[in-house]
Structure 1
Amino acid sequence: MTDSRLRTLRDHIRWAVSRFHDADLFFGHGTDNAWDEARQLVLGALHLPWEIADSYLDCRLEADEQAHLQELLRRRIEDRVPTAYLLGEAWFCGMPFVVDERVLIPRSPIGELIGQQFEPWLAHSPQRILDLCTGSGCIGIACAFSFPEAEVVLADLSFEALDVANENILQHGLEERVYSVQSDGFNSMPKQRFDLIVSNPPYVDAEDVDDMPAEYGHEPALGLACGEDGLDLVRRILAQAADHLTERGTLIVEVGNSQVHVRELYPEVDFTWLEFEQGGHGVFLLAAAQCREHQALFASRQL
């Protein structure tokens, strides 16, 4: 696929940048430009660190390394497979996570909140945390490191996603206080309450699904689309959250571009829309008292 004169790491990164631009690839699964994407793929494919000294970029590749790398580059360019899937790994909150096409690639702005221990939004340090619609488990596992005394539940409808989440629990050595539950929303947790519920549910509306770049076609549809306005599951979460939060608990939900639909559907509700220094939008916060106050309203507007 590539020019036989490509010998070094630097050669392959330079070639990949040019071809990525030519192919008009989409970058949004961990990088936002062709250079970072090429560097991540080339170095990751050869199990080399991102921070490698510049002099090492002039090292020549063995024939088998070239063949392996060129096949990954072909799949990235021709098949539009995201780099994280090609490498089987993505980074979130400074930690590596196992990922494949059973789960979405971690990219939530909620990671910034976790790094700040959700300050100043929590009334107290949470003892029980729920990561609802967990996918790879990245949000809940990162929360477990941010709150080392907390018990964390990872819940998802997909058994396949939970298999990946369980791999990540083991990889990070958290089996004693992080566990997974197969659940359609809150259905498998009828009497459980949490100090913090964090959710990155499927929320993409029908219009945005139709406009998505080809790279998103490799992600599980179950984790992306959720009805005409993207809020089929969010409606249920809002209607039931009060029954699963402790007295001073907090609900945080990402809805992305469907923020506009949330505002239209619930104009009476004073959502706190969180802001991010590192980029991202469409994440709201409600205190348990607000969830209780508006529970009848939320229930009345379920599908």
Structure 2
Amino acid sequence: MTIRETIKKGMINLKTNGIEEPNLKARLLMQFILNKPRQYLLIYDNQTLSLRQEVNYFKAIKKIISGVPLQHITHMQEFMKMNFYVDENVLIPRSDTEILVEEVINISKKINAKKILDLCTGSGAIAISLAKYIENSEITAVDISKKALEIARTNAKNNDVENQITFVESDLFKNLKEDKYDVIVSNPPYIKREVIKKLNKDVQKEPIIALDGGYDGLDFYRKIINESEKYLKFNGYLCFEIGYDQKEDVIGIIKNKERYINTYSKKDLYGNDRIIITKLS
């Protein structure tokens, strides 16, 4: 079969099985199998695949149909114009989180922030992006998972920012020195426990530790908001990604603390509330 014929058959298989974005996934899989860019597929779409390439391609198609995320097959995800290695040990970075990163970059440039703490770093996507786009920044990236931190370190090295980031294995603030940061940022687990089993199959394949926000999805917000004042400089910023329906709840937790001012939220590209920013007073 040719490249074009194989992609078409793969796309039909994905679409028939209710997989979202079947055209895109069929093409990206072919790029991975051939280790070629998109332009190659367009120019050489009549090229005949070897039997091994064909078999490997349709094995991967079956994996996607079974619920394995595309990124767990290709081990690659683009985020903030950089490539990140991902596997089953980390949450796959999503474009929604770029809203949070861009806001933290803007805040940091406005207040000349250099010391930034990233809690629940996972693949390191947030920490690495901040290190890349904020000049002379010093990032501390924390995660409870040793395997996640190994991946984050690899991603930092691959994106040439390993010297700007200190990685710490810790349950939130537990193993941190009581240092003071200009900004604390986090995309914590925020899915309600009972909702996880209702998520798409591919999302359920991601690490439960990166999804489970407790009974009401707010466990990590409570812990971080309650402890962050000890680690923030005066007038420092606390920045969160949130679930689409959590704005009022998270703002309520912030208000109850009575230490934060100028709280605001921003929406993602789909019009959902996605980030909350607040300032220590």
Paired residue for 1:206? 193
Deviates more, 1:257-266 or 1:65-74: 257-266
Tell me if 1:154 matches 2:141.
yes
Paired residue for 1:22? 16
Task: Determine if contact 2:105/2:133 at 8 Å carries over to the other structure.
Answer: no
TM-score, L = length of structure 2: 0.89
Paired residue for 1:173? 160
Q: Which of 32, 37, 45 is matched with 2:33 structurally?
A: 45
Unaligned 5+ residue runs, structure 1?
1-6, 28-32, 290-303
Task: Determine if contact 1:205/1:258 at 8 Å carries over to the other structure.
Answer: no
Number of residue equivalences: 276
Q: What amino acid is the match of 1:74? A: K
Matches within 5 A, 1:12-91: 12-25=6-19, 27=20, 33-52=21-40, 54-77=42-65, 79-91=66-78
Tell me if 1:137 matches 2:124.
yes
Return the offset for 1:287.
Answer: 1.1
Q: Following the alignment from structure 1 to structure 2, what is the Cα–Cα distance between the partners of residues 65 and 170? A: 31
Return the offset for 1:16.
Answer: 1.8
Paired residue for 2:259? none
Q: Following the alignment from structure 1 to structure 2, what is the Cα–Cα distance between the partners of residues 46 and 131? A: 36
Task: Determine if contact 2:79/2:125 at 8 Å carries over to the other structure.
Answer: yes
TM-score, L = length of structure 1: 0.83
Across the aligned residues of Structure 1 and Structure 2, the Cα RMSD in angstroms comes to 2.3
Return the offset for 1:108.
Answer: 4.8
Paired residue for 1:282? 274
Q: Following the alignment from structure 2 to structure 1, what is the Cα–Cα distance between the partners of residues 15 and 252? A: 40
Q: Following the alignment from structure 2 to structure 1, what is the Cα–Cα distance between the partners of residues 104 and 242? A: 20
Return the offset for 1:60.
Answer: 1.9
Paired residue for 1:273? 265
Q: Following the alignment from structure 2 to structure 1, what is the Cα–Cα distance between the partners of residues 202 and 100? A: 27
Task: Determine if contact 2:4/2:45 at 8 Å carries over to the other structure.
Answer: yes
Q: Following the alignment from structure 2 to structure 1, what is the Cα–Cα distance between the partners of residues 105 and 269? A: 14
Return the offset for 1:124.
Answer: 1.3
Paired residue for 2:234? 247
Unaligned 5+ residue runs, structure 2?
257-261
Q: Following the alignment from structure 1 to structure 2, what is the Cα–Cα distance between the partners of residues 179 and 95? A: 20
Q: Following the alignment from structure 1 to structure 2, what is the Cα–Cα distance between the partners of residues 117 and 230? A: 23
Deviates more, 1:85-94 or 1:65-74: 65-74
Q: What amino acid is the match of 1:189? A: L
Deviates more, 1:259-268 or 1:49-58: 259-268
Return the offset for 1:201.
Answer: 0.6
Return the offset for 1:205.
Answer: 0.7
**Percent identity, aligned pairs only?**
28
What whole-Å deviation, never above 9, does each CA across 1:139-177 have from its counterpart, x for those lacking one? Answer: 110111111310111110111111111111221222221
Q: Following the alignment from structure 1 to structure 2, what is the Cα–Cα distance between the partners of residues 42 and 229? A: 40
Deviates more, 1:261-270 or 1:203-212: 261-270
Q: Following the alignment from structure 1 to structure 2, what is the Cα–Cα distance between the partners of residues 193 and 56? A: 55
Change (3 A) 1:113 1:254: closer
Q: Following the alignment from structure 1 to structure 2, what is the Cα–Cα distance between the partners of residues 213 and 276? A: 20
Deviates more, 1:195-204 or 1:262-271: 262-271
Other structure's SS at 1:274 match: strand
Task: Determine if contact 1:204/1:257 at 8 Å carries over to the other structure.
Answer: no
Paired residue for 2:218? 231
Return the offset for 1:116.
Answer: 6.4
What whole-Å deviation, never above 9, does each CA across 1:218-246 have from its counterpart, x for those lacking one? Answer: 11100001211111111000111111112
